[in-house]
């Protein structure tokens, strides 16, 4: 017995409202970019920028985040962030501190704790956790995280192009050209971020002119989801850690899976009715998979909400990133990935 949240035969005009959806997505992306620029970049955690992470609980009610930051700054510490941790009102914080050079060292945590003891009293400061990451390790982790995202997207390009465009040879050749272009750009000693941006731009332009319709739709949807999720963390002033990168990689896979389900139905319906109206075929395909999409996303979000509210502070940022990404990914699989196929008058291959 198949569970269907939405009855068969529903016909929501998603394609007809695609311009409003594009406008809404563009606005969210703009807000995300403006937020990142306004905050002078992302709030990188100790994993990526180095430094010392201190989890401390204060018995003194006057130990607000601003008071903790002021106490450490007054003692000569570069305080990257002071975030609430645990239940509200417990005065428990995650504190990221660095030395003057922006890195961490073996004695940094001890000196920071001493400064907190001096400001609030040794008997009122309970240090529950301390971590230290050197600047070289942080830079290496940052680079590897970016490469993880890049190569995952590259493999996705090959898969979608080969499967839906039925051009496996062209897909592999395209990947080789892309890798070659990235290698040429890397000779100018640019950062990993610049390499990824360059590769994505080359990918989108190549997909457009070679009419890799499904590949372009999938890639733009993934970029849409990652940018908005990252922008949401910037707006909320959350730290970007390895857990966030793990969440982003999960979001990429989840969003792609949603898009592939819709793409499969579009290809099947187009094969049955090659002379049919292509926008109507796409719209019907989205409606036919709508129940499955909402059920899958809804049950996943229920699990993530449980993890966020009941899983403890350690899991909250991971659950929050996934919740945002899956919500945005569900939207993009319906309103972004599929309508992109209509950029060309000629229907996509069946």
DSSP string across 35-97: HHHHTTS--B-HHHH-EEEEEEEES-TT--HHHHHHHHHHTT-EEEEEEE-SSTTS-EEEEEE
Q: In CATH, what number does 18-44+137-343 get?
A: 1.20.1640.10
Specify the pLDDT at position 79: 64
Would you state the pLDDT for residue 83?
79
The answer to whether the beta carbons of residues 289 and 261 sit under 8 Å apart is yes
Complete edge-to-edge strand list for the sheet that includes strand 125-133: 78-84, 92-98, 51-58, 125-133
- Amino acid 319: pLDDT: 93
**Cβ–Cβ under 8 Å, residues 46 and 244:** no
d(CA 6, CA 12): 11
Q: Which segments of the chain belong to CATH 1.20.1640.10? A: 18-44+137-343
For the chain, list residues with pLDDT below 50: 1, 102-104, 348-350
Q: Which residues contact 7 (CB under 8 A, 6 or more apart)?
A: none
The pLDDT, as a whole number, for residue 138 is 59
200-253 residue pLDDT tens: 777 788 777 777 788 888 888 988 999 999 999 999 888 888 888 889 888 988
* pLDDT for the residue 129: 83
Domain with CATH 3.30.70.260 in the chain: 51-133
Tell me the C-alpha to C-alpha distance, in Å, between residue 128 and each of 58, 199, 216: 11, 43, 48
Between the two ends of the chain, the Cα-to-Cα distance in Å is 30
Superfamily of domain 51-133: ACT domain (3.30.70.260)
Kind and range of the H or E run holding 98: strand 92-98
Put simply, whether the predicted model's pTM sits higher than 0.95 gets the answer no
* Residue 27, pLDDT score: 96
Q: What pLDDT score was predicted for residue 348?
A: 47
């Amino acid at each position: 017995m198949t569970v269907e949240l939405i009855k068969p035969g529903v016909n929501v005009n998603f394609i007809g409202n695609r311009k409003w959806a594009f406008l809404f997505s563009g606005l969210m992306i703009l807000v995300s970019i403006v937020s990142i620029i306004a905050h002078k970049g992302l709030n990188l955690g100790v994993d990526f920028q180095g430094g010392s992470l201190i989890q401390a609980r204060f018995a003194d009610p006057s130990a607000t985040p601003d008071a903790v930051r002021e106490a450490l700054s007054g003692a000569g510490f570069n305080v990257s962030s002071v975030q609430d941790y645990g239940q509200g009102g417990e005065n428990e914080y995650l504190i990221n501190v660095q030395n003057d050079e922006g890195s961490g060292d073996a004695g940094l945590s001890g000196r920071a704790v001493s400064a907190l003891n001096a400001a609030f009293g040794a008997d009122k400061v309970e240090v529950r956790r301390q971590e230290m990451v050197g600047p070289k390790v942080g830079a290496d982790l940052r680079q590897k995280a970016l490469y993880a995202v890049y190569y995952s997207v590259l493999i996705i390009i090959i898969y979608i192009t080969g499967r839906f465009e039925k051009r496996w040879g062209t897909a592999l050749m395209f990947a080789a050209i892309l890798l070659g272009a990235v290698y040429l750009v890397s000779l100018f000693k640019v950062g990993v971020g610049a390499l990824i941006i360059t590769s994505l731009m080359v990918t989108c332009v190549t997909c457009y002119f070679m009419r890799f319709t499904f590949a372009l739709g999938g890639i733009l949807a993934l970029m849409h989801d990652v940018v908005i999720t990252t922008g949401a963390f910037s707006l909320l002033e959350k730290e970007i850690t390895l857990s966030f990168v793990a969440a982003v990689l999960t979001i990429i896979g989840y969003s792609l899976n949603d898009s592939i389900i819709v793409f499969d139905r579009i290809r099947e319906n187009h094969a049955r009715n090659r002379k049919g109206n292509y926008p109507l075929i796409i719209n019907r395909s989205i409606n036919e998979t709508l129940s499955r999409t909402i059920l899958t996303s809804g049950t996943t979000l229920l699990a993530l909400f449980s993890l966020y509210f009941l899983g403890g502070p350690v899991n909250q940022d991971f659950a929050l990133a996934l919740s945002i990404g899956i919500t945005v990914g569900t939207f993009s699989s319906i309103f972004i990935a599929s309508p992109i196929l209509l950029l060309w008058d000629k229907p996509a291959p069946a």
